[in-house]
A and B are shown apart, each in its own frame.
Chain A
Amino acid sequence: MAFHSHIHRDPNGTYTFSSRPRPVENRSKYREAPPEQTQGNYGNIMYDRRVVRGNTYAQQFIPTAAQPDAAEMEMQQEIRRRAIARKRAREQSGPKTPEALQGRQHIDVQTELYLEELSEAIVGTDVDCQTDAFLDRPASPLFIPAKSGTDVETQIEDGELFNFDSEVQPVLEVLVGKTIEQSLLEVLEEEELACLRAQQRAYQELRNIELAEVQRLQEQERRHSEERVHRIAQQKEVLEKEREAAEKIAARAYTQQYLADLVPAVFKSLYSHGYFNDPVEKDIETNFFPWLMAEVNNTLERRYTARQLLDNIIHDVAKERLEGFKEAKSDE
């Protein structure tokens, strides 16, 4: 069965049901398998068994009690059971009244004590109504809803309304405070910068001063050292000159001394070399001495010859003697 209804339980417990309008389906007598029922099985509502027909006020009505008692329930069940049993019994009981003969007719007859009029016509009464002549519609009464809720009242006391002058005070303080704070910061920054600059300038000045002093002292030192070097050089020169002078003097003295006995030395030397010749001596030298030497030579020559002879004689004698001895030895 296609579900058109929608049951929903809200989270806070309320129960809602909604469904799309749908035509009433024909209910068959016998239960069929539910899925096999088609949708085209809509029946005419006029011929639906479930719809009540006709007058409704003369029919049996269902008890309005929502919850019948258990005893009543039992009673009703008993009645139902009995009705079913009766029905069964009636169907089972075979013999019924036979059919009426021809020309005769069976009629139901009341045999109770008090006769009751049976009629198909239901007692009805006619009631009619008639509207009155049109009256003017009265004015709708003023809708005054019933009083609901609690009464509350309020009153603006003095001083509760927004007072600008007092409310603006903190805001203004903040604004002014912030602005002044900012400007103070900026002034401080500028002062700091000025301080830094002043310090830089002081440092520069000090540096310049010290640099000048250093340069002056350097210059002084340089000058002094230059001066010193110059003076030392000068001194050296002086010393050098003095030394040279002393040397010159010494040399002169020595030379003088040397030259003093140069002349006799020269003469002596010349004399010794024979540049001054004495004729007698020369004569002796040239004439006498060669002859003398020759004579000496001769004498020596003779002597030598004599010695030689002697040597030869000795030698011969010795040799003879040696031979004599040899012979003597060999004879032994």
Chain B
Amino acid sequence: MSRDLGAAPGPRRAPVAFGRWAVPRLFDELQRPDSSSRHEALESLCDLMRDPERLYQTVNGGFLEQLKVLLADDDASVRRETVELLHLLCGHSVGRQALLASSLLPPLAQLLDDSSSSCRTNVQRVLNRLALLPAGADALLALVPKLMLKLEEEEEEEEEVQVLLLSTLSRCSRLNALPALASDGVSLVGRKLSHRCTSVRREAAAAMMALSVPEDGKRQVCEEEVLPVVVALLQDDDVEVQANAAGVVMYTVVITAGKYQCLDLGVVPVLLHLVSRKEEEEEEDEERRRRRKALVVYSLRALTSLAEAPDGRRLLREQLPLLEERSQAAEKDGDVRRAAQTAVSTVTWTP
């Protein structure tokens, strides 16, 4: 009842037919050469697409091919509206799959270089949502070099675009990090790690974590001198930034070069501080405790890897009680307990 269109203020919307004719009629209107009517029809369609039933009807009716023509339209606002429509479509799984199945990705990718910035932002949003689906991330892997170029260019632009770009990159890299690494991803993302905006830092750290999973990435992280910045991020204000930075450290110290670099940077006391109980007892909020959990476990894993180096083991043996505290049965969370037990066993291992 409340989904029916009322006389909403704002730009004029095309009249919507009743029932199942709404969507086809609006698409018919889109065919007309009149630009303003297309704009109105697109506005109405955007409103309608918030309803899952209509979205399903659009996707199944095969109307997506018509949008292809509109993506190459002259009018920037028409392009922007079309991309916004695609953005709404990507909110649902059927829409994402339909978008992948149709041949709309290449024109969409071309719109990345569009002259209108709002259009570009919308394209970024679409790609971001598309990357949520593994098949979508797979399809976007081909676009990763272009996205890296965009990242390089976006020096002074708004943070939202950077956040979206980095988020898309991190999702794609979680699937397969090699294309991003090949396009010199580590240094680019490393530069974003010290951005002033928290969300950019968070997404950059997440991207870096995804990039440091393969062996090649770990080596690059060590070579590119990214670790000092990452270790500095461990003491950031935002929990998620800290967690992501701890993740980067966790992956990087698996290789020997990473271990020694981190030990040189004195990361062990920082991690121990993060792992300690005292700070967590201050957190009462369930939500934040849950977010801290990631941080704690990542730090424990990083410490485990560091304990494999003799220097690290020596340092950690002094701090063993702290780790043991975490591995006791008093610890509510099973994952944390297990991680702490592994850490303890690694520290106390003798050859």
Question: What residues of chain A have their CB less than 8 Å away from a CB belonging to chain B?
Answer: 178-179, 182, 198, 201-202, 204-206, 208-209, 211-213, 215-216, 218-220, 223
Q: Are B308 and A220 in contact (CB under 8 A)?
A: yes
In the complex, which of the residues A182, A198, A216 contacts B301, with contact meaning CB atoms closer than 8 Å? A216
Q: Are B297 and A216 in contact (CB under 8 A)?
A: no
Interface window among B31-39, B77-85, B250-258: B250-258
Interface check B49, CB cutoff 8 A: no
A213-B342, A216-B305, A219-B255 given; A208·B247 CB < 8 A: yes
Bound form: Cα–Cα A202–B247 in Å? 14
Question: What residues of chain B have their CB less than 8 Å away from a CB belonging to chain A?
Answer: 1-2, 174, 209, 213, 247, 250-251, 254-256, 290, 293-294, 297-298, 301-302, 304-305, 308, 335, 339, 342
Pairs across A and B, CB under 8 Å, 6 listed:
A208-B209, A212-B251, A213-B301, A215-B251, A216-B254, A216-B301
With both beta carbons as reference points, the residue of chain B lying nearest to A227 in the complex is identified as: B351
Bound form: Cα–Cα A182–B308 in Å? 57
Q: Are A209 and B308 in contact (CB under 8 A)?
A: no
Bound form: Cα–Cα A87–B250 in Å? 150
Q: Are B254 and A205 in contact (CB under 8 A)?
A: no
Across chains A and B, the number of contacting residue pairs, with CB separation under 8 Å, is 53
With both beta carbons as reference points, the residue of chain A lying nearest to B251 in the complex is identified as: A212
Bound form: Cα–Cα A220–B209 in Å? 20
With both beta carbons as reference points, the residue of chain A lying nearest to B210 in the complex is identified as: A208
A179-B2, A182-B2 given; A209·B298 CB < 8 A: yes
Bound form: Cα–Cα A297–B235 in Å? 122
Bound form: Cα–Cα A219–B255 in Å? 7
- Min CB gap A257→B, angstroms: 47
Bound form: Cα–Cα A212–B299 in Å? 11
- Min CB gap A237→B, angstroms: 21
Q: Are B254 and A178 in contact (CB under 8 A)?
A: no
Contacts of A212 in B (CB 8 A): 247, 250-251, 254, 298, 301-302, 305
A178-B1, A182-B1, A206-B335 given; A216·B304 CB < 8 A: yes
Bound form: Cα–Cα A198–B247 in Å? 18
Q: Are B255 and A209 in contact (CB under 8 A)?
A: no
- Min CB gap A105→B, angstroms: 110
Q: Are A208 and B298 in contact (CB under 8 A)?
A: yes
With both beta carbons as reference points, the residue of chain A lying nearest to B342 in the complex is identified as: A213
Bound form: Cα–Cα A202–B293 in Å? 10
A205-B294, A205-B297 given; A211·B213 CB < 8 A: yes
- Min CB gap A145→B, angstroms: 53
Q: Are B1 and A209 in contact (CB under 8 A)?
A: no
- Min CB gap B188→A, angstroms: 22
- Min CB gap A25→B, angstroms: 68
A216-B254, A219-B255 given; A209·B2 CB < 8 A: no
Of all A-B residue pairs in the complex, the 10 with the closest CB atoms, nearest first, are: A205-B294, A212-B301, A219-B254, A212-B250, A215-B254, A216-B305, A182-B2, A209-B297, A216-B254, A178-B1
Q: Are A178 and B2 in contact (CB under 8 A)?
A: yes
With both beta carbons as reference points, the residue of chain B lying nearest to A189 in the complex is identified as: B52
